[in-house]
Chain A
Amino acid sequence: MALFEAHHLHKRFADQVVLEDITLSFEVNQISGIMGPNGAGKTTCFNVLTGRYRPDRGKVLFDGQDITGLPPRKIARHGIARSFQMMNLFDEYTALENIVLALPEVRAKGFSVLHDLAHDGSAQDRGAAVLARIGLAGREHTLSSALSYGQRRALEIGIALAAEPRMLFLDEPTSGLGTDATATLAALIQEIRKSVTIVIIEHDMKFLFDLADRIAVIHWGQVIAQGSPEALGENEWVRASNLGALA
């Protein structure tokens, strides 16, 4: 069943057409990939799907409900979380504090939150459970700025998971990661896929081909190809490039 659907999305900035007639659907409990060369419109597509931009035309449906043009916070309340290409962590807080701040029950308390944090045992436990899930058990009291780059990426995903989303959008999760950190991240995504439907935008073809159940290739603001990694991998040029490994 398609949990998330986009129908005929159009988006322009001045005289540049960034998205034209994009139709995509993401199945429940699958990992879907969106890839494309630089400037193809991947991030704009993500921003429209997650409510940061309003499409000029077209519809976005989540679990059958029309969420087109809703502001990001309302979309988040439907159970959709996202990460960013650039990281958004509070450097002066520990890993655990970063997660606890993202817990829905803590956010609901608003400004009084900093007072309670140290005494809120259940929030601390829930935060620690999220950290364990993303492989950062034992790092609770490390400042987020002191974590390695790969761990910071994982923490970002942890912050998105803290809200217990049904759907998680990841924008270029491998950017800036080395081979080992990328492999760790792939394992983390395999682990969390059991409980959340995932969409990944990625420039790294190999990473997506290994993880995704279905991939859409975006270029010139359109979906120029889509299918399973096996089907897309049959293309002779794709094989010749060794899944972009030569790039």
Chain B
Amino acid sequence: MSNTPLLRLDQVHKTYNQGVFNKRITFDLQADFSIQKPAIVGIMGPNGSGKTTLFELITGSNNPSSGQVLCCGQDIHQVRSDQRDRLAIHYHQSYQVRHFRKRRPNFMLQPSQSDYPMVHLFDEPQFNTQDGYIGFMLDFFRRLRSEGRLVFLCVHPNEPFHLQIMREICEQYIFVQKGRLTQAPNFDSLLQNPDVTAYLGELVDGQAA
């Protein structure tokens, strides 16, 4: 098991089409990466770039057009939909969402091999510096990681402290733009990507080391 990555996206493609006879691709997401060990991974990208679609593909709530998502070695799209949350959980703002598009009945699918979710995806948690809860949230992310889990933190930075939090807590990053993913091993290399600096705009000033 130790060689099995916590999460592997193997040539995952998701395309959305428009039109019935004259098909036209309106959106196309491609993801191919693997994360071996527990980590806190920061996700950023403009609206409509595919961040939430990526999360849905990882939790098994949205089917890929091709490719596989392997959570702890198990193809999550082949797992019973009522047990997929034992592998990965999607948190949207302050709720946990479980919505699955069903392709096949559960009895034809596999049980989950894990009892407790190994991948936790936080989609734009509401950070408010003024109420103090942010501190408990960050500690919670760290606790999950120290218990051997993989945490994704998607933030749409519109204030300098959002970037400070990402820098403080995330060990690696994925930048999503127009359905394409770019990985960065740390914050400084993330900022060397001109697409990232263009996206962050003025927020970058004062962040560069």
Binding site for B on A (CB under 8 A): 12, 15-18, 20, 36-40, 205, 217, 219-222, 224-225, 232, 235-241, 243-244, 246-247
Contact = CB atoms under 8 A, between A and B. Distances in A.
Interface residues of B, number: 23
Given A36-B133, A217-B136, A224-B140, 5 more contacts: A16-B95, A17-B97, A221-B96, A241-B131, A244-B130
A18 B98 CA distance: 11
Given A16-B97, A20-B96, A37 B135 contact: no
B96 A219 contact: no
Q: Which of A39, A241, A246 has most chain B Cβ within 10 Å?
A: A241
Contacts of B126: 37
A38 B94 contact: yes
30 contacts: A16-B95, A16-B96, A16-B97, A18-B95, A37-B126, A37-B131, A38-B94, A205-B131, A219-B133, A219-B137, A219-B140, A222-B140, A224-B137, A225-B139, A225-B140, A235-B135, A235-B139, A237-B134, A237-B138, A238-B135, A238-B136, A239-B132, A241-B129, A241-B131, A241-B132, A244-B130, A246-B130, A246-B131, A247-B130, A247-B132
A235 B132 contact: yes
Interface of B: 85, 91, 93-99, 126, 128-140
A237 B131 CA distance: 9
Contacts of A12: 98
Contacts of A239: 132
A217 B137 CA distance: 10
A232 B132 CA distance: 11
Contact of B99 (A15, A224, A225, A240): A15
Contacts of B95: 16-18, 39, 220-221
Contacts of A240: 129, 132
Q: Which 8 A-B pairs give the minimum distances between C-beta atoms? A: A237-B135, A241-B132, A235-B135, A17-B96, A224-B140, A238-B132, A247-B131, A39-B94
A220 B132 contact: no
A59 to B, nearest CB: 18
A217 B133 contact: yes
Q: Which of B126, B128, B132, B140 has most chain A Cβ within 10 Å?
A: B132
B128 A247 contact: yes
A126 B3 CA distance: 70
Nearest to A203: B131
A241 B132 CA distance: 5
Contacts of B128: 37, 247
B131 to A, nearest CB: 4
A236 B98 contact: no
A171 B162 CA distance: 32
A237 B169 CA distance: 14
A36 B98 CA distance: 21
A235 B94 contact: no
A244 B94 CA distance: 18
Contacts of A217: 133, 136
A236 B128 CA distance: 14
A17 B134 CA distance: 21
A232 B85 CA distance: 29
A40 B140 CA distance: 14
Given A37-B133, A224-B137, A241-B130, A17 B98 contact: yes
Contacts of A246: 130-131
